[in-house]
Amino acid sequence: MQYEAVIGLEVHAQVKTNTKMFCGCKNEYGGEQNTHVCPVCLGLPGALPTPNVEAIRQTILTGLMLDCRIAEVCKFDRKNYFYPDQSKNYQITQFDMPLCIGGGVVLDKYAFPKEVQKEAYAAEGKKIRLNRIHLEEDVAKSFHFDSESGIDFNRCGTPLMEIVSEADMRTPEEAFAYLTTLKRILNYGNVSDADMEKGQMRCDVNISVRPVGQEKFGTKCELKNLNTISGARRALAYEIQRQIEVVSKGGTITQETRRWDDATGQTYVMRSKENAHDYRYFPDPDLLPVRTDKGLKIEAEAKMPELPHKKKDRYINELQLSEYQAEVLAADKALADYFELAVSGTKHGPAIANYLINEFLATEPDTANILIPAKHFAQLADLVANGKINSKQAKEVLVDMLSSHEEPVKIVEKKGLAQVTDLGALETFCDEAIAANPKSVADYKSGKLGAINALKGFVMKKTKGQANPALIDEILQKKL
């Protein structure tokens, strides 16, 4: 029997704000342990929360980017459970009235793992529906030593969005593409850095299997501890295989929470459904509902960025980039911003895209902090377009520029690379070429047009490769 997997994702993304969700402490990754804390985020007796409007606005913006409906009122609830990484033993979250409802993520072909991008399903543009996005506070970080544990509360109380998808994914590759696309959109809106390595984006998975053609979902398991996008793909592949093996042997799946261990490449039971919590949600009486339909939503709308797929379309249609070029640049917001800075006021889109993708990216730069002034790329493209240097020379200049950060004109000067465009000089070289290669001239005249290349090669050699090939061609044809 053929089986298929049914996958839904819960993604937690830390919201980019100046301060924490309910207090004035800095929302900053790192920092000496327990230094970004105050009575509120430590849950000291008598301390009370106040909502961070910036975090609400950022979450609304996320909802707008993901095509969600925005709730008119932002209401918070308490989720009750005892755990040392919580300072109050309840988490302030949203239960029955999430800030964003519905919406979806369209999977981009290039968001799939490289080796499957050519598959038909990657090009489908499948939409993964979202169930909701709600806003809550993050918990602290626990550290376990030999005989005791420590807790760093710096992270406790930082704003966190939980983005819950519908169970619309069927393969680990779709989950991979979903996470990649989502991360890209969060970066675009500047709503989250979404760096999984820093724990700024974390992901839990609900997964079940069923015979192909069956409508009813199988019993699901929840996977935790998926710390990278590729790790999530591996975990899903393993778990699907595990569940299919159980089911195909006539066994049943137990509803449980399992932990992925990337080192062993396996999932392990954490807890079964019987031990599930009763979180006893109720509205947090310390926090008044916040209206979103007036100022906050309007402010968020004003911050709406051009989304990756729109940007890509524009690069193709207005800047004449190839689909591949447009995709690579649009995939990285910082790189795209840089590209647009370089290209602005020029008509060199494809050339600059080419420099950035083929040469610049190969140097593995930190695209968020590019040290080379963007206008240097424009200048380089100008030099080529104006016939000052040829494309072979351009590459030489580029390589130099990437390490020296010098202006292209300076590099051209420094290397003595100026292309020979002096007509008189070129005509002399062409005459020499014709005189020195009677056979090629004869061949050309008898119709073997390719023979002209030998004459061109002669001139190039004479000019040490610095002649403008188009110009030589023109002169030779005239003379012959």
Partner 1 sequence: MSLHTLTIKELRNKLTAKEISPKDIVESLVKRIDSVDGKIKGYLRVNAKDAFAQAEKADISKPLGGIPIAIKDNIAVSDEGCTCSSKLLENYVSPYDATVIRKLKEAGAVLLGRTNLDEFAMGSSTENSAFGRTHNPWNLDCIPGGSSGGSAAVVAADEAIAALGTDTGGSIRQPAALCGCVGLKPTYGRVSRYGAVAFASSLDQIGPFTKTVEDSALVMNVISGYDQMENTSRPVDVPDFTKSLNAGIKGLRIGIPKEYFIDGMDKEVQTAVKKAIDWYAANGAEIIDVSLPNTEHAISVYYIVATAEASANLARFDGVRYGRRSPDGTDSINSYSKTREQGFGSEVKRRIILGTYVLSSGYYDAYYNRAQKVRQLLRRDFTEAFKKCDVILTPTSPTAAFKAGEKSDPLSMYLADIFTIAVNLAEVCGISIPCGFTSTNLPIGLQLIGSHFDEPRLLLAAHGYEQGHDWFKKKPSL
Contact positions vs partner 1 (CB under 8 A): 39, 42-51, 78, 80, 82-84, 87-90, 149, 151, 278, 280-282, 284-288
* Least spacing, CB of residue 21 vs partner 1, in Å: 12
* Least spacing, CB of residue 84 vs partner 1, in Å: 5
Choice between 143 and 282, CB closer to partner 1: 282
CA distances from 413 to 184, 383, 418, 464 (A): 41, 12, 7, 15
What is the rounded CA–CA span in Å between residue 138 and residue 172?
27
Choice between 108 and 138, CB closer to partner 1: 138
Q: Give the largest CA-CA distance in the chain.
A: 100
* Least spacing, CB of residue 77 vs partner 1, in Å: 10
Choice between 18 and 89, CB closer to partner 1: 89
Contacts of 7 (CB under 8 A, 6+ apart): 167, 168, 169, 170, 171, 172, 174, 175, 205, 206, 207, 236
254-260: long-range pairs with CB below 8 Å, 24+ = 254/219, 254/221, 255/219, 255/220, 255/221, 256/221, 256/222, 257/221, 257/222, 257/223, 257/224, 258/221, 258/222, 258/223, 258/224, 259/223, 259/224, 259/225, 260/223, 260/224, 260/225, 260/226, 260/231, 260/235
What is the rounded CA–CA span in Å between residue 47 and residue 340?
48
Residues 91 and 298 sit within 8 Å (Cβ to Cβ):
no
* Least spacing, CB of residue 338 vs partner 1, in Å: 40
Instruction: Please report which helix (H) or strand (E) contains residue 479, including its range.
Output: helix 469-479
Choice between 62 and 87, CB closer to partner 1: 87
Choice between 137 and 284, CB closer to partner 1: 284
* Least spacing, CB of residue 25 vs partner 1, in Å: 13
Return the amino acid letter for 67.
Answer: D
* Least spacing, CB of residue 106 vs partner 1, in Å: 37
* Least spacing, CB of residue 88 vs partner 1, in Å: 5
* Four-point Cα dihedral 410, 411, 414, 416, nearest 10: -110
* Least spacing, CB of residue 45 vs partner 1, in Å: 4
Choice between 6 and 42, CB closer to partner 1: 42
* Least spacing, CB of residue 286 vs partner 1, in Å: 5
Question: What is the SS3 assignment for 280?
Answer: coil
Instruction: Please report which helix (H) or strand (E) contains residue 253, including its range.
Output: none
* Least spacing, CB of residue 99 vs partner 1, in Å: 17
Choice between 286 and 299, CB closer to partner 1: 286
Choice between 50 and 358, CB closer to partner 1: 50
* Least spacing, CB of residue 157 vs partner 1, in Å: 13
Roughly what angle, to the nearest 10 degrees, separates helices 172-189 and 53-65?
A: 130
Residue 35 gets the label, from left (phi > 0), alpha (psi -120 to 50) or beta, of alpha
- Please give the structure tokens belonging to residue 88: 């109050």
Q: What is the DSSP letter of 64?
A: H
What is the rounded CA–CA span in Å between residue 48 and residue 40?
6
Residues 30 and 209 sit within 8 Å (Cβ to Cβ):
no
Choice between 43 and 113, CB closer to partner 1: 43
Choice between 166 and 286, CB closer to partner 1: 286
Residues 376 and 398 sit within 8 Å (Cβ to Cβ):
no
Query: How far is Cα of residue 250 from the mean position of the Cα atoms in its chain?
Result: 41
* Least spacing, CB of residue 68 vs partner 1, in Å: 25
Choice between 78 and 348, CB closer to partner 1: 78
Choice between 89 and 404, CB closer to partner 1: 89
Return the amino acid letter for 293.
Answer: D
What is the rounded CA–CA span in Å between residue 204 and residue 239?
13
